[in-house]
């Protein structure tokens, strides 16, 4: 069912105007069911309808105004009719702006406005326009055409039109009041939103301030933890250095005291070996003459207990002398290690390629490594290092041999190098048995060893630690039982002073 039905009462006599009026009626009827339903359906239909009304008004009102100018109606009437057009346009534009702001727009109010305005405009103003234009076309003047309007004949219609004008004015005033009220509500909402945003901003700023304070406190705490850790490490290194110094003094004294007896024992053992060899030679010659001796003398000699053990003595004496020499050589190695531990031999320091020193140590130990491990090299380009290549070579040899001994059957030894800002680092990593935390705490102590008795002096890592310390570097270990061990040496590329260059 249509909201408005086209009637002959709407016919003005100007076909083009009537066609445009019919199009407007159809436009309103098409949107009416949606507008009358209310809710979101009405809101979604209001916007497109208002857009169409704006376009319609721009086209239709221009057509009517051009028509009045062509007919040259009275200027006063033209102005009055044009003002009516502008009033409608202003009202539609205002409602369109209200809709764009998201303000509530009643579909029924919009329909009432359009039907009242359309009825009033067609029955009153556009019919008056048509009467004048048709009269002028027949030859009347503009004044005659205006005077020919029969106001008395249409008295009831005039009353009706007046009532429509009042209704139109009332709806317009109501709509503007609602618009102003909505604007005030929106202003209040915007003020509230601004206050909320300001509050959120302040809360966010305060949150950021607290977060910054927390981060600063956390940084300070972390700095304190790091300082404490460094202090503990420095204290441990100092204690280790003091321990090493004390043990070094003891080792120097012990080595000196043992070295002299070793010297004459070694000399006497050499002489004794020669004596035994001469005696054995003499016994061999004596045995050859034993057969030609008188029977009584021969029987007397053969009855001696020493003669019965002669063969055993001949076989055992060289073995005893050999074992004595081996034991003495081991004592000499221990004394040598003690001397190396207690002092640094006078050597020449020079800037060398540390990887060349590492390659040399690898060649020295290759015969022992090749049966136990595959060696992997991961070398970087390093700057020269001011060091004693002989002493560092001894460190590398010790670590490589230890790595081989840690591998039970067959494994991998990885050699890595790298550089930092003013230092280089070397890592020797094995896939051996690994060490417990308790063992790692003691491996740099002199005479501490995990090897069976007689297979290690317990001085290799202590000497290595002392040499690296003397170079101003660090020797660190990381290990887990069953997962291998990593020794990491860090060395400065240059020494601050020459005082550490051995003595």
Count of alpha carbons within 13 angstroms of residue 17, beta-carbon side: 26
Look-up: residue for tokens 């509500």?
Answer: 185
The pLDDT, as a whole number, for residue 299 is: 73
Average pLDDT over residues 297-318: 69
Look-up: residue for tokens 């003005």?
Answer: 12
**Cβ distance 45 to 34 under 8 Å?**
yes
> Rounded distance, CA 343 to CA 251, Å?
9
Rounded (5°) CA angle 322-325-326: 90
Q: By three-state DSSP, how is residue 491 classified?
A: strand
Q: Phi and psi at residue 378, in whole multiples of 5°? A: -125, 80
Question: What CATH code is assigned to 8-149?
Answer: 1.20.120.50
Domain ranges in the chain are 8-149, 229-342, 350-492
Q: Phi and psi at residue 492, in whole multiples of 5°? A: -70, 150
Long-range Cβ pairs for the range 297-305 (8 Å, 24+): none
Do 8-149 and 350-492 come out as alike in CATH topology?
Answer: no
Q: Which strand (E) or helix (H) includes residue 488?
A: strand 485-492
Q: Give tens-digit pLDDT for 443-495.
A: 888 777 766 545 556 677 888 898 999 899 999 999 988 889 999 999 998 86
The pLDDT, as a whole number, for residue 62 is: 87
The pLDDT, as a whole number, for residue 381 is: 92
> Rounded distance, CA 123 to CA 157, Å?
8
Q: Give tens-digit pLDDT for 338-351.
A: 565 555 444 578 89
The pLDDT, as a whole number, for residue 498 is: 40
Query: What average pLDDT does the structure give for the chain?
Result: 77
503 has a pLDDT exceeding 60: no
DSSP 8-state secondary structure symbol assigned to residue 233: H
**Strand residue runs (E) in 346-481:** 350-352, 373-378, 385-387, 411-419, 423-430, 474-479
Per-residue tokens: 220: 């300070």
414 band by pLDDT with thresholds 50, 70 and 90:
very high
Assign residue 348 a region (left: φ > 0; alpha: ψ between -120 and 50; beta: otherwise).
Answer: beta
The pLDDT, as a whole number, for residue 230 is: 76
Lowest model confidence (mean pLDDT) among 46-60, 343-357, 368-382, 484-498: 343-357
Helix orientation angle between 155-290 and 295-302, rounded to the nearest 10 degrees:
150
DSSP 8-state secondary structure symbol assigned to residue 492: E
Q: Give tens-digit pLDDT for 219-264.
A: 888 888 887 777 666 655 555 555 555 555 555 566 656 766 777 6
> Count of H helices and E strands in the chain?
14, 7
**Cβ distance 500 to 437 under 8 Å?**
no
306 band by pLDDT with thresholds 50, 70 and 90:
low
Which residue has better confidence, 387 or 233? 387
Instruction: Please identify, in words, the CATH class of the domain defined by 350-492.
Output: alpha beta
17 band by pLDDT with thresholds 50, 70 and 90:
confident
Measured from the Cβ of residue 430, the count of other Cβ atoms closer than 10 Å reads 25
Q: What is the pTM of this model?
A: 0.38
Q: Give tens-digit pLDDT for 133-145.
A: 888 888 889 888 8
- Compute the 3-state secondary structure of the chain and give helix, strand, coil in percent, each to the nearest 5: 70, 10, 20
């Amino acid at each position: 069912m249509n909201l408005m039905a086209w009637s002959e009462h709407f016919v003005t006599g100007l076909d083009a105007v009537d066609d445009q009026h019919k199009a407007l009626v159809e436009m309103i009827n098409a949107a009416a069911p949606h507008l009358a339903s209310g809710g979101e359906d009405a809101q979604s239909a209001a916007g497109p309808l208002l857009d169409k009304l704006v376009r319609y008004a721009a086209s239709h009102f221009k057509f009517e105004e051009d028509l009045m100018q062509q007919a040259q109606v009275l200027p006063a009437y033209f102005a009055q009719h044009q003002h009516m057009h502008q009033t409608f346009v202003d009202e539609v534009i205002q409602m369109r702006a209200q809709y764009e702001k998201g303000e509530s727009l009643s579909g029924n109010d919009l329909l009432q406005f359009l039907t009242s305005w359309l009825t009033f405009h067609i029955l009153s103003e556009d019919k008056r326009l048509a009467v004048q234009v048709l009269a002028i076309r027949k030859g009347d003047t503009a004044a005659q055409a205006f005077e020919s309007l029969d106001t008395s004949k249409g008295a009831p219609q005039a009353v009706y039109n007046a009532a429509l004008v009042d209704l139109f004015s009332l709806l317009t005033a109501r709509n503007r009041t609602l618009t102003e009220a909505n604007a005030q509500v929106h202003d209040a909402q915007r003020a509230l939103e601004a206050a909320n945003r300001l509050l959120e901003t302040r809360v966010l700023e305060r949150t950021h301030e607290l977060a910054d304070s927390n981060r600063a406190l956390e940084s300070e705490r972390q700095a304190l933890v790091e300082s404490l850790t460094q202090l503990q490490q420095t204290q441990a290194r100092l204690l280790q250095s003091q321990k090493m110094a004390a043990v070094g003094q003891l080792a120097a004294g012990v080595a000196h005291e043992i070295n002299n007896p070793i010297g004459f024992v070694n000399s006497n053992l050499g002489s004794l070996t020669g004596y035994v060899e001469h005696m054995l030679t003499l016994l061999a010659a004596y045995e050859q003459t034993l057969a030609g001796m008188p029977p009584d003398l021969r029987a007397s000699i053969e009855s001696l207990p020493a003669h019965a053990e002669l063969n055993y003595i001949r076989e055992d004496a060289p073995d005893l002398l050999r074992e004595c020499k081996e034991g003495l050589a081991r004592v000499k190695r221990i004394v040598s290690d003690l001397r190396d531990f207690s002092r640094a031999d006078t050597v020449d320091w020079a800037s060398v390629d540390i990887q060349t020193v590492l390659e040399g140590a690898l060649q020295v130990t290759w015969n022992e490594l090749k049966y136990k491990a595959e060696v992997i090299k991961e070398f970087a380009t390093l700057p020269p290092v001011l060091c004693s290549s002989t002493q560092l070579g001894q460190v590398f040899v010790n670590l490589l041999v230890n790595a081989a001994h840690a591998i039970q059957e067959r494994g991998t030894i990885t050699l890595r190098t790298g550089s930092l800002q003013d230092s280089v680092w070397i890592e020797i990593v094995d896939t051996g048995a690994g060490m417990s935390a308790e063992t790692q705490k003691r491996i740099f102590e002199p005479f501490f060893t995990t090897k069976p008795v007689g297979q290690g002096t317990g001085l290799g890592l202590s000497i290595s630690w002392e040499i690296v310390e003397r170079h101003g570097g660090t020797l660190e270990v990381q290990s887990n039982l069953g997962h291998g061990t990593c020794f990491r040496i860090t060395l400065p590329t240059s020494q601050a002073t020459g005082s550490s260059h051995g003595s």
